[in-house]
Amino acid sequence: MTLLTTPNEIETTICHLIKTYKSISFASAWASASSKAFPLLLKYSNKINKVVVGIHFYQTHPNFIKEFIDDEKVKFKTNPNGIFHPKIYLFQNNENDWECLIGSANFTKAAMQNNSEIIVHINSNDTDAHGVYKKTIEAIENYFETAVSFTNNDYQAYLKVWNKKSKELLDIQDEFSSETDIKPIFKSKIIMQDWNSFFEEVKNDKNNSFEIRLELLNKTQEYFRNSSFANMTDIKRRQISGITSKDTNNPELNWMYFGNMVSPRFKTRISEDYIDISEALDCIPMNGIVSKNDYMNYIEYFKEHSGYGYGVITISRLLAMKRPDVFFCITGGNKKYLYEDFGLTKDIKSNEYERYWDEIIQRIHKSEWYNTDEPKDIIEKELWSKRVAMLDTIFYDGDL
């Protein structure tokens, strides 16, 4: 057993072992295509037994992935429980003739040429070598079973996000807790849409609700421009809150689009707490950027009164009505397909306000269609100013 403490030692050893042994298996958090070891891996690709590489934070270079599209021996961890972070390499001829490297070095140029890394080098003659071998085999097998091959479509989607991230336009999963089970952004159909695709899908929704939804949101914008929530009439507050479906000026306008908020508890509280709710809504600017700090200030009141029916669904409705260009209203009718597209396996509980921002809103705000410039076409411009709330036309599953 020896200790490798310099990048040169690590790279030289990995290159030597790739050339020496008949079988190559390893698991690495990330991989690149610019180390001296990479061309050797390609040259001796017939030796590859099982390779598993993580893509967390989009640190794995797409040039590495490109070489192994549809490869059944080289797989990628796309949806780990936490961060996929091992660095373990096994080179063997058989169970009695092998060498193993375990430590901090990924299969990247940085790890093998620049970083401060350390690797334990073990071989089949070391004490308790058989136990190490068995556990190494088992670990790589387990990683491999839950990893997937990359298709060309996966690669193209990953490359698109990686290119944006490399230009510092996106910074994806490091904004989420490592304990959060979230699908990689390139796997989300909605997030990966461009503006034209998004516009067509929203405009041609299956319920033909595009125009009436825009009209409703235009009405809420008019309400908020002319008055604070506290100074509105009771009927306007109830319309914004989704408590009533009536609109005497336009009978066709159903205020229960974007969520039905007819819970008796909420109906009672909205009439009693409208001044406090108004003060909370005042934390959200009518124009410009809405920061997480603005949002956290907004939910402070609701956190203290979460037992009054002020859960995530309720607070998201009010937000989407005031700033439909920023917020999405989660409802019982849309969350199934929203969660499925975003890869959320755990329901956002009524008092998990921060998850709503971190896992839904920030994620939406990374999409291409969200970040497109304001269109010139009148209809597209109308949608653009309400584009986040209008996601409901895509995700909603039910009759209106």
Name which of 3-12, 82-91, 239-248, 287-296 the model is least confident about.
239-248
- What H or E segment, with its residue span, contains residue 135? helix 129-145
Distances (CA, A) of 280 to 69, 294, 301, 305, 371: 50, 10, 7, 12, 27
pLDDT at 271 over 90: no
pLDDT at 275 over 50: yes
Burial class (CB in 10 A: 0-12, 13-18, 19+), 46: exposed
Single-letter amino acid, residue 305? H
pLDDT at 341 over 70: yes
pLDDT given for residue 166 in this prediction: 60
pLDDT at 63 over 60: yes
105 contacts 115 by C-beta, under 8 angstroms: yes
Predicted confidence band of residue 400 (pLDDT cuts 50, 70, 90): low
Long-range contacts of 61-66 (CB under 8 A, 24+ apart): 61/31, 61/32, 61/33, 61/34, 61/108, 61/162, 62/155, 62/158, 62/159, 62/162, 63/32, 63/33, 63/34, 64/31, 64/32, 64/33, 64/38, 65/150, 65/155, 65/158, 66/155
pLDDT given for residue 182 in this prediction: 57
pLDDT given for residue 188 in this prediction: 85
Single-letter amino acid, residue 367? S
pLDDT given for residue 263 in this prediction: 67
Q: List pLDDT tens digits, range 351-397.
A: 899 999 999 998 899 888 998 999 999 999 999 999 999 999 999 98
59 contacts 30 by C-beta, under 8 angstroms: yes
Calpha distance 101→151 (Å, rounded): 29
Calpha distance 317→108 (Å, rounded): 46
pLDDT given for residue 179 in this prediction: 39
Pairing of strands 23-28, 87-94: antiparallel
Burial class (CB in 10 A: 0-12, 13-18, 19+), 20: exposed
- Considering the domain delimited by 2-173, tell me its CATH architecture: 2-Layer Sandwich (3.30)
pLDDT given for residue 178 in this prediction: 36
pLDDT given for residue 304 in this prediction: 83
Residue tagged 């909420």 (tokens) = 266
Average pLDDT estimate for 118-124? 96
Sign of the alpha-carbon torsion through 249, 392, 398, 378: positive
Q: List pLDDT tens digits, range 160-181.
A: 888 776 654 344 343 433 334 4
Residue 27, strand partner residues = 52, 88
Within 8 A by CB and 6+ apart from 270, the residues are 237, 238, 241, 243, 277
Looking at per-residue confidence, does 274 or 172 come out higher? Answer: 274
pLDDT given for residue 251 in this prediction: 75
Name which of 329, 315, 237 is nearest 275 in CA terms: 237
Predicted confidence band of residue 183 (pLDDT cuts 50, 70, 90): low
Tokens standing for residue 87? 């660095």
pLDDT given for residue 186 in this prediction: 75
All CATH 3.30.870.10 domain ranges of the chain, comma separated, are 2-173
Name which of 2-11, 190-199, 263-272, 287-296 the model is least confident about.
263-272
pLDDT given for residue 180 in this prediction: 45
Burial class (CB in 10 A: 0-12, 13-18, 19+), 398: exposed
Q: List pLDDT tens digits, range 231-257.
A: 999 889 989 988 887 777 777 788 888
346 contacts 181 by C-beta, under 8 angstroms: yes
Angle among Cα 177, 182, 185 to the nearest 5 degrees reads: 110
Average pLDDT estimate for 189-193? 88
pLDDT at 306 over 90: no
